[in-house]
Structure 1
């Protein structure tokens, strides 16, 4: 996302640029976590199929890979969508509000989301602790590894909400809108 000349040289240019860049870093990290997860799951499952048909044997660990990586894929996609403001939302009423009231609603919603995401991530730590004693049967990897995706994902979502609040407060709310293009800008 590129800042306009006015905002990059104006009063709110540098803080807005830093906040938008922070959201962009979160987006790319989440996107690559998702890409790695889906590629690793595909390659492991494909290797299981090849081994089964060529050597008539089974790679048991292959079935455990999706258990570990699918939660990371899911949270990566959720965080990436939130960082780009492409999550599902009904903005018809908010768009019709006067600017000041619209900013208050955006800030209010993001503060509520930030608190909710922080609470969920804290509760996720309890799940990680409980799941730490559970291990996958073949690889012996703790199931808590998969549940760390919940903690990491909701911490990232809370940070994105905080960044959205700060962007609106400093006056750069035009950069918190979703991009015009709904396609991938390239990997």
Structure 2
């Protein structure tokens, strides 16, 4: 599982770098060469979809999503553990919902082509599918892993 997390983080870094480079090229071409790149905006948009849907499970894995734990810290240990399991189950459900609903979306989108890149829109949205599957995998692993005795709900 460690290699999957490392690969996802490397992909996030590459996607962000790609977005910065393509954005820089677009600015350079537009303002210095007086010529616009027809494909740059779409590439950045589609890269952003992939970036967001892979960043969600990475942040979940690290415990970096926002939470308000003032109330949770006052709960007895047993309730905190139960709440942590319930929250992880909700993350699993969210990941599975991403997968199922994106499959439906891709079924419709496969007949559409992007204007700038000329690729199937199913490819553009496949980042939602892959990110949802990765989120579901992270949540399932966390649910099945033994929990420390003093675990707090995220």
Q: How many residues align?
A: 154
SS at match of 2:39: helix
Equivalent in 96, 114, 117 of residue 74 of structure 2:
96
Equivalent in the alignment of 1:42: 20
Equivalent in the alignment of 1:121: 99
Equivalent in the alignment of 2:7: 29
After TM superposition, which residue ranges in structure 1, 4 or more long, deviate above 4 angstroms?
173-178
- Determine if contact 2:81/2:153 at 8 Å carries over to the other structure: no
Structure number, greater radius of gyration: 1
- Determine if contact 2:84/2:153 at 8 Å carries over to the other structure: no
In the superposition, the TM-score normalised over structure 1's length comes to 0.71
In 1, the alpha carbon distance for the partners of 2:147 and 2:35 equals: 61
Q: Which runs of 5+ in 1 are unaligned?
A: 1-21, 179-187
Equivalent in the alignment of 1:154: 132
- Determine if contact 1:26/1:83 at 8 Å carries over to the other structure: no
CA-CA distance at 1:54 after TM superposition: 4.2
In 1, the alpha carbon distance for the partners of 2:34 and 2:102 equals: 41
Change (3 A) 1:137 1:163: same
In 1, the alpha carbon distance for the partners of 2:98 and 2:80 equals: 27
- Determine if contact 2:110/2:121 at 8 Å carries over to the other structure: yes
RMSD after superposition: 2.4
- Determine if contact 1:75/1:149 at 8 Å carries over to the other structure: yes
In the superposition, the TM-score normalised over structure 2's length comes to 0.84
In 2, the alpha carbon distance for the partners of 1:154 and 1:44 equals: 26
Bigger Cα displacement from structure 2, 54-63 vs 148-157 = 54-63
